[in-house]
Amino acid sequence: MAIRIKTAKEISVLQECGKRLAAILKALQEKARPGTATGEIDLLAQNLIRDAGGIAVFRGYRVEDSPPYPASICTSINDEVVHGIPRPDTYLREGDILAIDIGMAWPRESAKEFPSYQGRPLVTDTAVSFSIGNSTRESDRLLRGTKEALWEGIDEVKSGKRVGDLSARIQKKLTEYGFGIVKGLAGHGVGYELHEDPLIPNYGKAGTGPLLKTGMVLAIEPMATLGKGDVRLDRDGWTFQTIDGSASAHFEHTVVLTPNGTLVLTMI
């Protein structure tokens, strides 16, 4: 699949989509407390996406032979790296590390939400990890280092750079912290679809990979562990867990490269 460049009008739609998605994610974080079921957080996400005029792009999504994804968000706890399925009987506990991953296509009805735009709904994607209640020194370090790696990668998004430049920068930061790097999962292009080219690994060699150009929209998402980076797929067909049981963290922003620099779309 070729890398798909977005127009100025599409970027303005993505900015509004990302801003609304960031506000939704903030509300979901506030909902996450000890004793809260992850299924409750998913229900809130479903309602907030609808009220924002968007479409929950995770729900029903399929990858190869996987079953359709059954929820509007991913809620991954502790050793679950990504794609954890929210459930009505999975309750958050004090000290858990929770990663919430959410994607939205917007606007659902362009005539109502964005009258000057007549195209298809466009997608942004974002994720955050945080401690539930009290945290430990190690969990704080994991969260801090993985978030720093995200911003290191974003800092490399410049015209003339290559995907390998930001991958190498992310790898360098995660390695400095001594974290395991999850190599089987990666960031990606986004916009017309949830997953587009280019693939953006969290490790790599500077100066390699596709050239970054104005109009490219990227979902950058470092994933790290306190142990090794090896993961396995759960029997549910979606949840990736660390093989050694170590805690993990995941952060993500959607960014766009414009003539005036890089914009982080999924921030309020």
CATH number for the domain that contains residue 206:
3.90.230.10
Domain that holds residue 248: 8-264
Tell me if 3 is assigned to some domain.
Answer: no
Predicted structure pTM score: 0.97
Asked, for residue 93, whether it belongs to a domain, the answer is: yes
Q: Does the pLDDT value for residue 1 go beyond 80? A: no
| Binding-site residue set for substrate | 83, 195
Query: 5-19: per-residue pLDDT in tens?
Result: 999 999 999 999 999
Nearest to 6 by CA among 228, 268, 255: 255
Domain annotation covers residue 228: yes
- Angle at Cα 213 formed by Cα 11 and Cα 115, nearest 5°? 10
Cite the annotated binding site by residue number: 83, 101, 125, 188, 195, 221, 252
Residue 107 inside a domain? The answer is yes
- pLDDT of 246: 99
Q: Is residue 32 part of a domain?
A: yes
- d(C-alpha 204, C-alpha 244), whole Å: 24
Q: For residue 111, is pLDDT > 80?
A: no
**pLDDT at 116 (0 to 100):** 84
**Does residue 2 form part of some domain?**
no
CB atoms within 10 A of CB 12: 15
Sequence-ordered alpha helix ranges (H) in the chain: 8-31, 38-51, 110-113, 137-155, 163-176
Annotated binding site for a divalent metal cation: 101, 125, 188, 221, 252
User: How many domains does the chain divide into?
Assistant: 1
Cα–Cα distance for residue pair 148/118, rounded to 1 Å:
38
**Strand residues in 34-117 grouped as ranges (E):** 55-56, 73-77, 80-82, 97-106
Evaluate whether 126 touches 218 at the Cβ level (below 8 Å): no
